Amino acid sequence: MTRAFVFPGQGSQAVGMGKDLSDNSSVARDVFNEVNEALSQDLSGLMFDGPIEDLTLTFNAQPALMAASIAVVRVLEKEFDVNVADNAGYVAGHSLGEYSALAAAGTLSLSDTAKLLKLRGEAMQRAVPVGVGAMAAIMGAEFSVIEEIAAEAADGEVCTAANDNADGQVVISGHKGAVERAMEIAKERGIKRAIPLPVSAPFHCPLMQPAADEMAAALADTTFNAPCVPVITNVSADAVSDPNALRDQLVEQITGRVRWRESVLKMGELGVTDLVELGTGKVLGGLVRRINKEIKGRSIQTMADIEAFATELKS
C-alpha cells in the first residue's frame, strides 16, 4: 500500500476546530501556542470559540486550518510514533493546504508557515476590492466544457476555471460580471447547478497577481528545505521535491488553477491506494471517491481518529 497524507483548504473551517486535540494533548497545545506566538494573536481561541464570521475571514481561516492540520501531524509523530516520512509516500494540499503539506514534510517551519498564510490571506484580500470579483461552483459538467464557458463569458474581463476539484465540480473565478455571465451561459447549456460562492475575493485567477507579487517577495526570504517525501503540487499535479521549484510553484498557485482532480489521478498513477486527510473536515476524503474509486479516502481530525489510525497501522 502507498499512502498519501493530504491537507484541506479554505471552506473546511468550523468553530471548535482543533479543540478536541488541544483538550487531550500537550503536543497539540504546543502547536497552537507556537502559531499564536508567531502571529501575535490568539488564533486558537478564535478556532475553539469563534465567532465563525471572524474565523472565516481569509487571513484567519488560512493559518487556522494549517494549525489544525499540523496539530494532527505532530500528535501522530510524537505520541504515536507515526511520522510522515515512514508512513506516507506523498503529501498534497488543496490551495492553502499545500502550505500545510510543506510544513508536514519539513520544507517549512511551523512559525514561517503561519506567518506566510496570514500574509497570503491579507494579500489576497488586498488584491481586488470587495465587490469587483466573484467565484462560482458549476456542477455537473466536464472541465473542458466549463473552460469554454468561462472563455465565452470573459468578454474582455477575467473569467477562468480556478479549481478543478473533481469530475463535475469546477469553480470559476474572475470579475463579478463575467462570473455571472458564465453562470447564465451554463444554465442556457442545460447545466442545472451554478452556485455563487460566499467568498471575499476571486482566488486563483489573474486578478490575484498583486497578491502573487507580495508572496513572491515573502517566499524569497523564507528558508525552504527538501521535503521528506515528494509533494504533489496544485500547479503541476505532479510530484515535486526540489525546494526552489516548490517555492516558485507557491507563487504560481496564487493566480493559477488548483488541479486537484489531476493531482488525485496522478497519485493513483504513482500507486497511492490510501488517501488520508489530516485536519478539519472531510472534503478531500469525499472528493477522492468521485475521482478514483480505487483510492480509499479517510479523514483524521480528533484524538479518537488518531488513536484508531495509529492502532490500525501497527496491527
Task: Identify whether 94 is a catalytic site residue.
Answer: no
Q: Are 76 and 82 in contact (CB under 8 A)?
A: yes
- Whether omega before 51 lies within 30 degrees of 0, making that bond cis, reads yes
Backbone angles phi, psi at 274, to 5 degrees: -135, 115
Distance separating alpha carbons of residues 199 and 216, to the nearest angstrom: 23
Distance separating alpha carbons of residues 143 and 67, to the nearest angstrom: 32
**What is the edge-to-edge ordering of all strands in the sheet holding 2-7?**
239-240, 231-232, 90-93, 2-7, 272-278, 296-300
Q: Which three cell numbers stand for residue 53?
A: 464570521
Q: Which three cell numbers stand for residue 12?
A: 473546511
Distance separating alpha carbons of residues 7 and 104, to the nearest angstrom: 9
Residue given cell 500574509 in the structure block: 119
Catalytic residue of the set 22, 44, 95, 236 = 95
Catalytic residue of the set 12, 22, 204, 236 = 204
| Residues 283, 119, 128, 246, CA torsion sign | negative
Task: Please give the helix or strand (H or E) that residue 172 lies within, else none.
Answer: strand 169-175
String of DSSP letters for 48-112: HH--HHHHTSHHHHHHHHHHHHHHHHHHHHHHH---HHHH-SEEEESTTHHHHHHHHTTSS-HHH
SS3 236: coil
Q: Tally the residues of the chain.
A: 315
Task: Identify whether 175 is a catalytic site residue.
Answer: no
* Cα separations in angstroms, 232 against 77, 104, 269, 271: 21, 13, 12, 13
Catalytic residues: 95, 204
